A and B are shown apart, each in its own frame.
Chain A
Amino acid sequence: MLMRITVTLLMAALLVFGIVSWADYDFWLMGPSPSHYTWWWPEEMSTLGQHADNLFWLIMVMVTVMFAITMGALTYSIWKFSAKRQDKAVFSHGSHKLELLWTAIPAALLLVIAFSQMSTFAAMQFDSSMEDENGEELPVLCEIWASQFDWRFRYPGRDGRFGTNDDFESAYELVMPMRDTFGDPDKKKVVFLLRSRDVLHSFFVPHLRFKRDAVPGMTQRIWLGVDDEQLAEIMADREDKSFDIICAELCGWGHYKMSGRVRVLPDAEYEKWVDEMTALQFGNS
């Protein structure tokens, strides 16, 4: 009897805690949070990240329902079908109908999840997402270079071409414009080339829900888009207007300290920053 109560309570506790903690986002916001960070993910401020977050919540709903059904059935069975209360178990080898039911429903749900994410993934990673209306590749803002254990960002300078005399470098801090020249928030795209000098690294910006390995020997085109309204709202009460870049692939003993920051500037301020950097690295030009 004691064991029956104990195990039922353990399972019930897991059931309740599971549902509360997964379905109630506020639950974790109560965590100790001296900064703007909680025990949940940081605020989202990219043009595409919202789609990923929505997909997360769609799965959350399905998973929570499934969890409640299965954990609930498990907890109930442990309480209800105790040996002390039954003489003999039901003699059954299964049910064809039930099998069909619990194959077809999860299959349908999984297919819904599978197909509903395709367009977002394509928009994130396919080359076509980095072209303008005419199929021309969008210009590259800068090269992101990863190496043990720092991030460097090489800008093409005023002439817009790499490998010329006016290229300049920024270490640690990636500065990017909002690029709202199109006027359409979905088209705010800034394209980068992601490269590594030595081993694998991974370029992870939690606020932009972006992560991609920097693979030595490969040059990858990636893009980031920042939603300026979200950004303004989130950064309003902060002194430091930049946010974390984190290395997300083991790159050696110093992996843990391979950090960087992203700072997003309005287009005009960005141009000013380019001038400052050029002046800083080459004197007045």
Chain B
Amino acid sequence: MSDPNASSIRPGMGEPGTTRTSHEHHELGFIRKYIFSVDHKVIGIQFMLLGLVFFVLGGLFAMAIRYQLAWPWESMPVIGDLLFPNTGQAITPEFYTMLFTMHGTIMIFFVIIPLLTGAFGNFLIPLMIGAPDMAFPKLNMFGFWAMIPAVGCVVMSFLQPGGGPGSGWTAYPPLSTIASASPGSLSAQTWWLLALTWVGFSSMMGAVNYVTTIVKMRAPGLTMFRMPLTIWALLIAALLQLFALPVLTAASMMQISDRVFQSGFFTPTNLVINQINPEGAGAAAGGQPLLWQHLFWFYSHPAVYIMVVPAMGLASDILSVHARKPVFGYKPMVYSLCSIAGLGFIVWGHHMFASGMNPALGMTFMVATMMIALPSAIKVFNWLGTLWGSRIQLTTPMLFTLGFIAMFIIGGLSGIWMAATPVDIYIHDTYIIVAHFHYIVFGGSVFALFGAIYHWYPKMFGRVMNETLGKIHFVGTFIFTNGVFYMMHQLGMAGLMRRTADPYDYESYAHLQPLNVFITISAFCLFVWQIFFVWNFFHSMFWGKRVGRNPWNAASLEWEAPSPPGHGNFDSALRVYRGPYEYADPSVEEDFLAQTRDIESK
């Protein structure tokens, strides 16, 4: 154990675990306090609101996709006239490609990553490690404001001729690079790439900040192995971003260069696309489309873990608090996070088993992919170990966390088929894949996020969300989520390919429409059901029950601060004596032992 006195005052950072409030005599104006704020809590809530607004937009896109799949080319009642006045109130094929492209883009880059690392990363890191703020508060503010040009670029891409990019969130060239290949590749694609670059810029500033803050600003006594798993997970996610993002940025620049300056990184020779030869039109050639896939997945596979690792951390914390029991196997949990991160960099090729990549390389990626299932399995077993012999309180955060575990089990297990190359050849890009990653990202990450919002809401706003509404929200969400995504396994078994606007002309798919109608109705219900959350979220902000510092009787540091914490977070100096999960310790009367409580000197 390291000496708690070892972390002394560092220039410019303030003493860890102490407050800065005493130095701040002047009250900040509204704009500095809530708009251009350098306070990590405000920035976190800004990220959260941005993410939730985009969640609605991405959800609406999903609903439109579902409508088309259930009733292809049929005119939309009520809103059809407004949205599609020139095409018989119906979705067009071009519009459909835009829908799934932007559904994926928005959900990944504007919802899940900002909510997990942006919102909860910002809000929780300083509070959970007992720091007054982030290491670089201004950089943190710029991190949020870099999202605004990203939003602007997305809006611009919708306004381009062609109505938005249409080459999927993976943007495979030459479809994405050659203007004649798709209406979305005229100019919308360039704006899309710029949006991605800005999001990367934002994530990068966040990641630098998170790593520095976690490494340098922990409260006295808070050793690495006394950190909550949320902090470990956010540290790992930040490291993944630091190492993977530069590759995506470089790749985006290469694609922009191909599109704008006619370079030929990804354009092979002798193409004839829509009767136009790109070389004849002035483009350089001699490139290789597979290069983009390697570069893109070198970022985007770690990004998949960026989208789930923080959720695992949040879930572990919520689980321990509401099960009133220490996390089972804390160190194996940390090591499995680390190995997910390590292996996460050498499995990107499993997105490319059918791409024409050298099969010997495919074999290597297959073995690495098989092995990355192991740390995920270890995490599931440890969550179950945490629950075993616990004292489960079925609060709303706990319900969503239990839902997270169930969904993660399904999504994790279905991944094993995808790693098995001969099977993957069949199921690659079918709806089984869609089912799999929605179980992880929606059933997993979004459930954990809902749990986290219900759990840390009192810390954010000083009031709790309504429990009854929360429980109604959970039950409906759980049922409809399975209604939507479970049946997609069956579509995938029948071989249904994703991204097909109207599959029913194929003999193999003609009989699948009833199943799609069922999924669509479930999806509509799932979407509408979120009203319970939206109402609860905003209503509780002003009229929820007020609570004190520690409404859940949790042991970790953030609950030592007032709810909501003022500028500088803590109003007394902190010293940490133990890990964050000391529940049910028989040596004390209460069922929890706070990290800061000194029982020996009493």
Contact surface of A with B, Cβ cutoff 8 Å: 3-4, 6-7, 10-11, 14, 17-18, 21, 28, 31-35, 37-42, 48-49, 51-52, 55-56, 59, 62-63, 66-67, 70-71, 73-74, 77-78, 81-83, 86-95, 98-99, 102-103, 106-107, 110-111, 113-114, 117-118, 120-122, 124-126, 147-148, 197-200, 202, 204, 206, 209-213, 215-218, 220, 240, 243-244, 246-257, 259
- What B residues does A37 contact at CB under 8 A? 494, 507-511
> Are A81 and B390 closer than 8 Å at their CB atoms?
yes
- What A residues does B502 contact at CB under 8 A? 256-257
- What B residues does A147 contact at CB under 8 A? 272
Bound complex: CA of A206 vs CA of B430, how far in Å? 11
Counting chain A CB atoms within 10 Å of each CB, the highest count among B325, B422, B509 belongs to B422
For the A-B complex with A37-B510, A110-B371 known, give 5 more contacts whose Cβ atoms are closer than 8 Å.
A39-B494, A55-B423, A98-B381, A99-B329, A124-B421
Bound complex: CA of A7 vs CA of B362, how far in Å? 42
> Are A93 and B507 closer than 8 Å at their CB atoms?
no
**Does chain A have a CB within 8 A of B156?**
no
**Does chain A have a CB within 8 A of B53?**
no
Bound complex: CA of A35 vs CA of B429, how far in Å? 24
**Does chain A have a CB within 8 A of B387?**
yes
**Does chain A have a CB within 8 A of B501?**
yes
- What B residues does A66 contact at CB under 8 A? 377, 413
Bound complex: CA of A98 vs CA of B323, how far in Å? 20
- Chain B 67-111, CB-CB to A under 8 Å as 1, else 0, gives 000000000000000000000000011101100000000000000
> Are B420 and A113 closer than 8 Å at their CB atoms?
yes
Contact surface of B with A, Cβ cutoff 8 Å: 92-94, 96-97, 166-168, 172, 174-175, 178, 181-183, 268-274, 287-290, 323-332, 354-356, 359-360, 362-363, 366-367, 370-371, 373-374, 377-378, 380-382, 384-385, 387-394, 399, 402, 405-406, 409-410, 413-414, 416-417, 419-423, 425-426, 428-430, 471, 475, 478-479, 482, 486, 489-490, 493-495, 497, 499-503, 505-512, 514-515, 581, 583-586, 591
The 29 listed contacts between A and B (C-beta, < 8 Å) are A10-B478, A11-B406, A32-B511, A34-B510, A38-B494, A55-B420, A56-B420, A67-B413, A74-B387, A77-B392, A86-B390, A86-B391, A99-B332, A110-B371, A110-B416, A117-B366, A198-B174, A198-B272, A198-B274, A199-B174, A200-B172, A202-B429, A210-B425, A217-B269, A218-B356, A243-B507, A253-B166, A255-B97, A256-B501
> Are A213 and B422 closer than 8 Å at their CB atoms?
no
Bound complex: CA of A31 vs CA of B366, how far in Å? 33
Q: Given A35-B507, A121-B359: A94 and B385 within 8 A (CB)?
A: yes
Bound complex: CA of A139 vs CA of B175, how far in Å? 32
Bound complex: CA of A49 vs CA of B182, how far in Å? 35
Q: How far is the CB of A85 from chain B (nearest CB, A)?
A: 9
> Are A102 and B499 closer than 8 Å at their CB atoms?
no
> Are A246 and B508 closer than 8 Å at their CB atoms?
yes
Q: Given A11-B402, A114-B367, A255-B500: A52 and B390 within 8 A (CB)?
A: no
> Are A199 and B178 closer than 8 Å at their CB atoms?
yes
- What A residues does B426 contact at CB under 8 A? 41, 49, 52, 206, 209, 211
Q: Given A55-B423, A77-B384, A249-B172: A83 and B324 within 8 A (CB)?
A: yes
> Are A89 and B268 closer than 8 Å at their CB atoms?
no
> Are B182 and A212 closer than 8 Å at their CB atoms?
no
> Are B428 and A211 closer than 8 Å at their CB atoms?
yes
Bound complex: CA of A217 vs CA of B273, how far in Å? 13
> Are B406 and A121 closer than 8 Å at their CB atoms?
no
- What A residues does B471 contact at CB under 8 A? 3
- What B residues does A122 contact at CB under 8 A? 359, 363
- What B residues does A103 contact at CB under 8 A? 332, 374, 378
Chain B residue nearest in CB terms to A218:
B356
Chain A residue nearest in CB terms to B332:
A99
> Are B507 and A244 closer than 8 Å at their CB atoms?
yes
> Are B355 and A98 closer than 8 Å at their CB atoms?
no
Contact with A213, one of B355, B367, B388 (Cβ below 8 angstroms): B355
Q: Given A122-B359, A249-B172, A256-B501: A199 and B273 within 8 A (CB)?
A: yes
> Are B505 and A252 closer than 8 Å at their CB atoms?
no
Bound complex: CA of A99 vs CA of B103, how far in Å? 39
Bound complex: CA of A243 vs CA of B507, how far in Å? 8
Q: How far is the CB of A27 from chain B (nearest CB, A)?
A: 10
